[in-house]
Amino acid sequence: MSEPASIALQQEIARELQVAETFDAEQEIERRVAFLTGHLTSTGLRSLVLGISGGVDSTTAGRLCQLAVERARAAGHEARFHAMRLPYGVQADERDAQLALSFIRADHVLTVDVKPASDAALEAALAAGVSFRDAGHQDFVHGNIKARQRMIAQYAVAGAHGGLVVGTDHAAEAVSGFFTKFGDGAADLVPLTGLTKRRVRAVAAALGAPAELVWKTPTADLESLDPGKADEDALGVTYDDIDDFLEGKPVDERAFRTIVDRYRLTDHKRRLPIAP
Ligand SMILES: Nc1ncnc2c1ncn2[C@@H]1O[C@H](COP(=O)(O)OP(=O)(O)OC[C@H]2O[C@@H]([n+]3cccc(C(=O)O)c3)[C@H](O)[C@@H]2O)[C@@H](O)[C@H]1O
Ligand SMILES: Nc1ncnc2c1ncn2[C@@H]1O[C@H](COP(=O)(O)OP(=O)(O)OP(=O)(O)O)[C@@H](O)[C@H]1O
Ligand SMILES: [Mg+2]
């Protein structure tokens, strides 16, 4: 799409989502670590909390968190990073999660299995008479319950340890609204804001993350009936197209429409609750 109106819309959305025109991975690392350290010290809180899935987003944000608390400690503040494993039962790619943890070298690692709470929440809703269109619909909603149970577990740790919950939302997820509202979308600090997916990968690589995590196929992995489903299959558009769109490069008409439609439909997810 190269008509002036389409280019203007692309630019407006990129600006709204804070996508920078230029990118330097080392500078982004410095800026984002300073952001995390600054908020930790200025709020007087004592820790950062983040779930580590084995995907590239939490691998990147997790390492930034550990660097940030080390910097805060060097400046005389009490600061710790609590990295959380939040599997739903046994996670198929647990090996990747462990590889991410070895790379991040968090001060503290703890595991909360979100399966019992997620299943109990679904069972209670079913017992109350909530019904779904079909098994696929129920599985999809159950997936969002899992994401919200992860949020609950992270806020429990933040409450216990005077912490701030870190989220991994970035521009490629924000533009498509590809997160669970008040689930993984809920956080106190979002250090990856404004990055496209390829820029997240570039930051991960510059931090020294293992290549298999830098280049891992992104998955929300929330649906039990479709385990490890690639985000791109769910989105109907590739991250390359989304990134090109956000970086002001040309994308074909179908991708342009898909992205703009998703952006408009998910507007409510990027805002505070609607009030009269
Ligand atoms: N117009 C509107 N104004 C205000 N609120 C509106 C609304 N439309 C829906 N809503 C509310 O929003 C709810 C729907 O939002 P939500 O519950 O999030 O559900 P929804 O957007 O339908 O699903 C979340 C999507 O994000 C994906 N996801 C989730 C978590 C992580 C990742 C990942 O990348 O790893 C991806 C997941 O696979 C799924 O495709 C509705 O039930 C309703 O309560
Ligand atoms: N199994 C899990 N264990 C711990 N945290 C999780 C888990 N699944 C999701 N999360 C949290 O939810 C966030 C959103 O998931 P998302 O899939 O977007 O990110 P990712 O897995 O880190 O990277 P990618 O998008 O490339 O798969 C993760 O970054 C992580 O903080
Ligand atoms: Mg993932």
Q: Of residues 169, 173, 223, 244, which has the active-site annotation?
A: 173
Q: Which residues surround ligand 3, an ion (CB under 5 A)?
A: 53, 55, 219
Is 148 within any annotated ligand binding site? Answer: yes
What residue type is assigned to position 13 of the chain? Answer: I
Is 188 within any annotated ligand binding site? Answer: yes
The preferred substitution site among 114, 181, 233 for testing ligand 1, maximizing ligand atoms within 8 Å of CB, is 181
Order of strands across the sheet with 163-165? 108-111, 80-85, 47-51, 163-165
The CA 150 to ligand 2 mean position distance, Å, reads 10
| Nearest ligand by distance to the CA of 271 | 1
Answer yes or no: is the C-beta of 164 below 6 A from any ligand 1 atom.
Answer: no
ipTM of the complex: 0.99
**DSSP 3-state of 193:** coil
Are residues 49 and 160 in contact, defined by beta-carbon separation less than 8 angstroms? Answer: no
What's the rounded Cα separation, in Å, for the pair 90 and 94? 8
Please state the pTM of the whole predicted model: 0.98
The CA 2 to ligand 2 mean position distance, Å, reads 34
User: 57 an active-site residue?
Assistant: yes
| Nearest ligand by distance to the CA of 217 | 2
Q: Of residues 57, 223, 241, 243, which has the active-site annotation?
A: 57
What's the rounded Cα separation, in Å, for the pair 57 and 61? 6
What's the rounded Cα separation, in Å, for the pair 183 and 189? 14
Is 127 buried (19+), middle (13-18) or exposed (0-12) by CB count in 10 A?
Answer: exposed
pLDDT values of the chain reduced to their tens digit, one per residue, 276 residues: 668 888 999 999 999 999 999 999 999 999 999 999 999 999 999 999 999 999 999 999 999 999 999 999 999 999 999 999 999 999 999 999 999 999 999 999 999 999 999 999 999 999 999 999 999 999 999 999 999 999 999 999 999 999 999 999 999 999 999 999 999 999 999 999 999 999 999 999 999 999 999 999 999 999 999 999 999 999 999 999 999 999 999 999 999 999 999 999 999 999 999 999
- The predicted-structure confidence for 134-167, as pLDDT tens digits, reads as follows 999 999 999 999 999 999 999 999 999 999 999 9
Is 216 within any annotated ligand binding site? Answer: no
What's the rounded Cα separation, in Å, for the pair 61 and 257? 30
Which of 65, 32, 25, 17 has its CA nearest to residue 174?
A: 17
Sign of CA dihedral 62, 66, 67, 72: positive
Answer yes or no: is the C-beta of 234 below 6 A from any ligand 1 atom.
Answer: yes
Sign of CA dihedral 28, 240, 147, 210: negative
Q: What does the H/E/C string look like for 122-140? A: HHHHHHCCCCCCCHHHHHH
